């Protein structure tokens, strides 16, 4: 996913050194202060209660893409649908560019 984001011209706050599917804690995201958040619908519900997330630039400026379960499935499963995953992420980036 990080490589796809790089090819789309954006920087992933998750370093490649953490591996392809790292588990990160909410404080990591607060410290990184991303401009855009991409999240699956299940995770989006949980993040509403995370302390400090109101200070994140993406939250304040409403630059959050919440992916449906079907989109999430395409995004997290590497394979022949990588081009489709790239299109999903590109659409998010274009929709939230500000």
Q: Classify 2-96 by CATH class.
A: alpha beta
- CB 63, CB 95: distance < 8 Å: no
Tell me the per-residue pLDDT of 15-74, one tens digit each, with 9 for 90 and over: 989 887 788 889 999 999 999 999 999 888 888 788 999 899 999 999 999 999 999 999
CA-to-CA distance for 70 and 11, rounded, in angstroms?
A: 24
What mean pLDDT is predicted for residues 75-91? 91
């Amino acid at each position: 996913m990080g490589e796809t984001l790089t090819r789309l011209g954006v920087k992933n706050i998750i370093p490649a050194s953490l591996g392809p599917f790292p588990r990160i804690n909410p404080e990591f995201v607060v410290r990184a202060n991303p401009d855009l958040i991409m999240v699956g619908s299940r995770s989006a519900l949980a993040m509403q209660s995370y302390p400090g997330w109101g200070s994140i630039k993406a939250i304040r400026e409403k630059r959050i893409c919440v992916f449906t379960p079907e989109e999430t499935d395409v995004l997290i499963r590497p394979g022949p649908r990588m081009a489709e995953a790239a299109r999903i992420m590109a659409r998010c980036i274009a929709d939230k560019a500000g």
